[in-house]
Amino acid sequence: MVAIVLLLVAVLILVLAIFNPSQKTGLLRKLALESIAPLEGMINAASTGVSDVWERYIFLINLGETNRTLVRENAALSRKINEYREMHLEFLRLRKLLGLKEKADFPTVAARVVGRKQSSLFETIMINKGSNDGISVDMPVETVYGVLGRVIEVSWSVSKVLLLVDYNSNIDTLIQRSRAHGILQGSGEKGCRLRYVRRTDDVVVGDVVVTSGLAGIFPKGLMLGTVDSVKKEKTGLFQEIRVSPSANVTQIEDVLVILGNERRGE
Amino acid sequence: MYFLSLCLFSFLMLIVQVTLFDLLLHGIVVIELTMILVIYAGFHLDATRGGILTFMIGLLYDAIAGIIPGLFIVVYMLIFCVAKVISDKVRVENSVLIMGFTCMSTFLEGVMIFFVYGVLLDIHLSKLLFVQVFVPQAVILSALSPLLFSLFHRIEVLTGVGESQ
């Protein structure tokens, strides 16, 4: 009898969560997150320590070759930076001429990943910052390489982040070069699919995909990934596009949570 | 006392599941030890204590790993109820039965998740994904289930023999 009642309660929770999704994290879920996060953090810190010692002091094969490659890459990148600096200065002059508004810099909070993939189908991570640090649901999360996902649950000192490769993740996007519009949907370990891009739109392999800023969650122009493959079927309105995320979602240690978005306050 | 230690043990098991296994297996496959614990609860505990324990495990796992609140609680409660019904009718000490039921439960979980995604959330996951995710999980969990049942039984003996019955 008790089991049946509990089952009915569980079904009720599920139905409410699906048909009446709340922005707030319940007290029980907060307590569960708070109780497990410190232990996860401890285990992760210990394992990171061991792997750091292994990689920095013991496993040094090919270090010389890697160093030479990096020196070459560094020289090439320095040249590129110089080119971009020139372009940036030109851009600043042109913007001044056109009187365009300066892009806002959003305040961010740095956080450490304390828990990684914990379920077979859901792609989430846990970070060690929560509402005490100003984080709230739907805030974008990024790494130095690009967008990682968005916050879906917040407790006092822990938050859960839905990665952009999760099936539930949908991000409004633009192709940087051609400004073609689409929706980036997660497809698990395979990366992401760019959906609803018209057959006539110009998209090629290697194109950079950025946030469009339209849905009000992600600011405009954040790096999402690059186009991996483009397929146009004989029939149909849209192209079949695969995108490889720029942030490595399997090896994340530190992230940035973007606290403000000018659209949020509108 | 026995029930409290079982709750604590479940919590520790969940931590092992979401931390150590992820570190060792790099997310290639998720070993849901909690599911075997739920099946054990269905086979060996009474409906009240087993039900509460299952609900608690589902709630914790849901909070830590879930995206849709309540999904894991429903899945685990369903598995618990089916296990309870079976344990009332059949002798549940047989390893083959334990392995078979674990395998079936893993697929039930997969079907439930695919159902919620496809019917309620309108996100259509590929059938190949079901095979890629749940078949390895079912094989590993089924293989581990007799060993874990034996471990749970030892813990049961250590913490309070017979109280569960």
In this predicted model, what pLDDT tens digit does every residue of A155-207 receive, in sequence order? 888 999 999 999 889 999 999 888 999 999 998 877 899 999 998 888 999 99
Q: Closest Cα to residue A202, out of A185, A223, A225, A227? A: A227
Structure tokens that stand for B140 in this block: 């590993």
Q: Say whether B59 and A118 touch across the interface (CB within 8 A).
A: no
Interface predicted TM-score (ipTM) of this complex, two decimals: 0.74
Divide the 165 residues of chain B into consecutive groups of 10 and give the mean pLDDT of each group: 79 81 72 90 88 90 83 92 90 87 92 86 80 88 92 79 50
- What pLDDT score was predicted for residue B163? 52
Restricting to B residues 94-123, those with a Cβ less than 8 Å away from any Cβ of A are 113, 116-117, 120-121, 123
- pLDDT for res B102: 94
- Look up the pTM and report it: 0.77
If one counts every other C-beta atom within 10 angstroms of the C-beta of residue B135, the result is 14
Q: Inter-chain contact A120–B30, Cβ cutoff 8 Å?
A: yes
Would you state the pLDDT for residue B11?
84
Contacts with B, A 193-232, CB within 8 Å: none
What does the pLDDT read at residue B161?
53
Within 8 A by CB and 6+ apart from B127, the residues are none
**B41 at A interface, C-beta within 8 A:** no
Query: What residues 122-151 of chain A have any CB closer than 8 A to a CB of chain B?
Result: 122, 124, 126
What is the C-alpha separation between A165 and A184, in angstroms, rounded? 9
Å from B140 to nearest chain A CA? 13
- The more confident residue out of A116 and B79 is B79
Residues of chain B contacting residue A166, judged by C-beta atoms under 8 Å apart:
67
pLDDT at B14: 84
Structure confidence at residue A139 (pLDDT): 93
**Does the structure show a pLDDT above 60 at A265?**
no
Domain ranges (residues) in chain A: 106-259
Query: Under an 8 A CB cutoff, do B63 and A32 touch?
Result: yes
The residue of B14, B33, B74 whose CB has the most chain A CBs within 10 angstroms, and thus the best one to mutate to test that interface, is: B74
**Chain A contact present for B56, CB below 8 A:** no
Domain boundaries, chain B: 2-24+32-160
The top-scoring range by mean pLDDT among A51-60, A101-110, A205-214 is A205-214
Listed residue (A121, A243, A237, A230) closest to A183, CA to CA: A243
Are B21 and B41 in contact, with CB atoms under 8 Å apart? no
**What mean pLDDT value characterizes chain A?**
84
Is the Cα dihedral B152, B154, B159, B164 positive or negative? positive
Architecture per CATH, A106-259: Beta Barrel (2.40)
Q: Are B79 and B108 in contact (CB under 8 A)?
A: yes
Q: Under an 8 A CB cutoff, do B62 and A16 touch?
A: no
Q: Label residue A98 by pLDDT band (50, 70, 90).
A: confident
Per-residue model confidence (pLDDT) at position A104 = 56
List Cα–Cα distances, A132 to A125, A156, A157, A217, B140, in angstroms: 19, 5, 6, 21, 40
**pLDDT score, position A263:** 45
Name the residue among B4, B5, B8, B10 with its Cα closest to residue B39: B10
CB contact, 8 Å: A17 with chain B? yes
The long-range contacts involving A23-31, CB below 8 angstroms and separated by at least 24 positions, are A23/A137, A23/A138, A24/A137, A25/A137, A25/A153, A25/A154, A25/A155, A26/B69, A28/B59, A28/B63, A29/A153, A29/A155, A29/B59, A29/B62, A29/B63, A29/B69, A30/A155, A30/A156
Q: Is the pLDDT of residue A100 over 70?
A: no
CA A159 vs CA A25, B53, B65, B123: distances in Å: 10, 25, 12, 25
How confident is the model at residue A237, as a pLDDT?
Answer: 85
Query: Is domain B2-24+32-160 annotated with CATH 1.10.1760?
Result: yes
Give dist(CA B73, CA B62) in Å, integer.
Answer: 7
Q: CB–CB of A44 and B19 under 8 A?
A: yes
Cβ contact, residue pair A119, B47, below 8 Å: no
**Nearest residue on chain A to B60, judged by CA atoms?**
A32
C-alpha distances (whole Å) from B36 to each of A62, A117, A119, B57 are 44, 20, 15, 11
Residue B67 touches partner A, C-beta closer than 8 Å: yes
Distance CA A243, CA A208 (A): 9
Q: Is A14 on the interface with B (CB under 8 A)?
A: yes
